[in-house]
Every structure is written in structure tokens, then in C-alpha cells.
Amino acid sequence: MFLNKLKLLIFFIQTINHSICEVDLNNITFQHLETLRMEYRNIMQDILQNHPYYIKRKNGVKYCPVPYSHAVDNEEVPYEGIEIINRELKYVVKNCVYEKKYALAYIIILNAIESIGLTYMYRFCEFAIEMNKKGASISDHLKEFSNNLHYKIIPIFNREWISPIPYDCILNVYKKHERNHENYKFTNVDEVYMSDLLDCKNLMKEKVNFISEFKNNITMDDLVMTQDYNNINIKRLLPNDFSGFKRIVGYKNQTLCTGCTDMRYSGTVRVIHIFLPCRHGWSCQYCNVLNNQCPVCHERITGTQVIQIETPTRIIKKGFLSLQPRCFFDGREARCISCRSQIKDVNPPNKYVMIPCGHGWYCSICIDSAICTKCETKFEDKLCVNL
């Protein structure tokens, strides 16, 4: 009994430590680096390749770009004498620690993660194009690809602020063509479909193979074998003790709670509130009841509405990933959780949440649904949010 309680206590402490992890992108510490290294220890033995995107050279100095979808103070970090080509990632990190270059090591790990995820998506696009040329169905492979996006790659990209634009492109392709091919069985040669996938490949081509080389295959058996290996290989990216939420500060356009402006709660809270009736926001759960008037338009506040933002992450079945509050202030376009369309393409391009559940985003066409796509709560009203 005591042993079980001890195990439970240790698990609870570990869970708390994961859940409150906070990283200041402008002040990466050894502890930040060590936590990241342990979370992604399954890729630490990978060998880094000479790469024109991840190893940039300007005026004789090597730089590595940062992969963030958010604007930060430094968009690149100098290598400053650290050798990485043909070396295992763990030894590169070790050398950075010895030189106390924690930010550099942190970014190198994130670049490796980005390249692994994008290489996986790139290879699938290549696989899908070649299979379509042969008139072969990929429905089963597409299901596994969709699951890997939903459970592995997109949660990591969202957690680490890695740009998900190539994924959005692929989601658009399969949404566009789902009606042309029953149950996503692409058995006929479709030039438009292949061209759309090629556009997605072009978004990723500069970032693939930081870890390993990829060679094109010709025969059907080789194509299938390569994709099966691709599915197995990507599983090592997500550790068993992975926590999907991380507090990150350092966003240049960081939006504070409009009520308390307390840096402790900036972008770190999951429950956020929009002021009623003006629909401005946002406010954290700690102070929303303390406001008498909207700090934006000064209209009297009669109440607040909790909003819970989700984004589609599966191709085959409807699956959703929670977005951190700051994600709908950055450059990424919002996507409707009902029709999966990017809201910028819908007229009018307004973002709605459903009342009373507060789930969104819904586009202006889908918001009048009878029940919520996410939780199946009955529709009572809608709220167009003015962020």
C-alpha cells in the first residue's frame, strides 16, 4: 500500500513538473535545455547532416534559423564554432552545454524535430503522388498518416511553436479532393490532386533530411515498404511521458490579459474569457469577474463568455487539438472545426464561438449548426469574437 502511494506521489510530482514547464525564449537556461533533451531523448542518437537551410552561412559565420510560428527577438542563432555536421545530436548538445550556449542547443533540437516531422509529411506526399501515377489506392496508408499527424506531429509542433503551415496545406488538399474520390480511394490518375500535393512538397523541400537522406523509389513494393518504414520511424519522436502543454513567453507581439496585465498569466492560461456584450478580449480566469468596463472600448461589462479554441488535426475522421490562447493572435490562419475551411476563405471571414459551450472557431456558415461539432452541446446562441 505504501509503495503504491509513493508511486502515485512521484507520478503526481512529475505531472506537475511537466504541466508548469515555462520557457522564456529570450533566456534559455540549462534547465530548459535539459528538460527538452529528456523529452526528446529518442532522437538524441540521430546524426545531423550538412544542410543548406539549417546551417546557413553569412560572411563566414554559421547560423541556424529558429522554427517558431510566432515572432521572437532573434530569428536566427549563430553556431559560434560548434561543429554539428555528421555528429550525433547528443554530442552536439553536450558541446553546446560545455560552451554554455544553451539557446543554440535548444534551437538545434527544435530544428531536428521540425525536420523529422516535415520529412515524414514530405515523404508521404511523395508516396501519394507516385501511387496515384500508378492508379493505386492509399486509403489505409492515409488513415495511418492522419493518425500520426493527430497524435504525434501536430501536438508537438503546436507545443513547441513550430510552424504548421505545410500540414495546413495537406489538410486543404484532402478536404478539396474528398468528394472526387469516394472514401479517399485514389485509384484513378488525378493530375490536379498530384499538383496540389506537389505544392505542399514545395513548402517543405528546404527543410527535409536534416537527419537522414531520402531516395526515390520506383516499384510499387518499394513505395509501400518505404512508407511503412516512414510510419514506424516517426513513432520515436513522441516519448511516453510527453506533456502536450508548455508555457512559453517571449512572443514579440505577446497579448496580455486585458484586465490584470499580469505577466504570470500572459499566454499561459487555458481558460480565457471574452467580455459581453462588446465581444472584446481576452481576459484570464483570475480577474474576469473584477472588471466593470471593457478596457478596450469602455462599454459596461454585463458578463463574460469562456472560449475554447480547437483546430482540426485529422484528415480521415474529425479530430481536434486544443490551441493555446496565444495561437489565435499569431500569423496562422484560423480553421473552422466543422467544415475545416480556413476562415480567411469564407465570406464574411469572421470567427465565431458557439454558446453556451464556447467552442470554436466556427466560420460564418457553420456557426448556425444545431449542435456543437466538438462536444455535441445544443446550439443556443453564437458569439462573433473581436480580438
Q: What pLDDT, in 10s, does the model give residues 271-285?
A: 778 888 888 777 776
Domain ranges of the chain: 23-244, 253-387
Pick the range with the lowest mean pLDDT from 7-21, 53-67, 73-87, 144-158: 7-21
> Using the 8-state DSSP alphabet, how is residue 152 labeled?
I
pLDDT of 366 reads 94
Q: pLDDT > 70: what percent of the chain?
A: 80
Q: What pLDDT, in 10s, does the model give residues 26-85?
A: 889 999 999 999 999 999 999 999 999 999 888 888 899 989 877 778 888 998 888 899
- Please state the rounded mean pLDDT for residues 188-198: 95
pLDDT of 242 reads 66
Pair 42, 88: CB distance under 8 Å: no
pLDDT of 232 reads 81
Find the DSSP H helices in 134-269.
Answer: 139-148, 154-160, 165-177, 191-204, 220-234
pLDDT at 344 over 80: yes
Rounded to whole angstroms, how far apart are CA atoms 99 and 83?
12
- Please state the rounded mean pLDDT for residues 127-156: 92
Rounded to whole angstroms, how far apart are CA atoms 313 and 321?
6
Rounded to whole angstroms, how far apart are CA atoms 150 and 321?
8
Fold (topology level) of 253-387: Herpes Virus-1 (3.30.40)
Tally of CB atoms within 10 A around 86: 9
What mean pLDDT value characterizes the chain?
Answer: 82
134 phi/psi in degrees, rounded to 5: -90, 0
pLDDT at 214 over 80: no
pLDDT of 18 reads 39
pLDDT of 262 reads 57
Rounded to whole angstroms, how far apart are CA atoms 282 and 306?
10
363 phi/psi in degrees, rounded to 5: -85, 175
Q: What pLDDT, in 10s, does the model give residues 257-267?
A: 666 655 555 55
The radius of gyration computed from the CA coordinates of the chain, to the nearest angstrom, equals 22
pLDDT of 36 reads 92
Rounded to whole angstroms, how far apart are CA atoms 366 and 370?
10
**Residue 8 contacts by C-beta under 8 Å, 6 or more apart in sequence?**
none
Confidence label for 306 from pLDDT (cuts 50, 70 and 90): confident
pLDDT at 230 over 60: yes
Comparing 256 with 61, which gets the higher pLDDT? 61
pLDDT at 328 over 80: no
Rounded to whole angstroms, how far apart are CA atoms 359 and 349?
17
Of 46, 216, 208, the C-alpha closest to 121 is 208
Q: What DSSP letter does each residue of 341-359 carry, written as one string?
A: -BGGGSSS---EEEETT-E
Pick the range with the lowest mean pLDDT from 101-115, 151-165, 295-309, 337-351: 295-309
pLDDT at 89 over 80: yes
| Cα–Cα distance list, 170 to 79, 165, 195, 232 (Å) | 33, 9, 12, 20
pLDDT of 173 reads 95
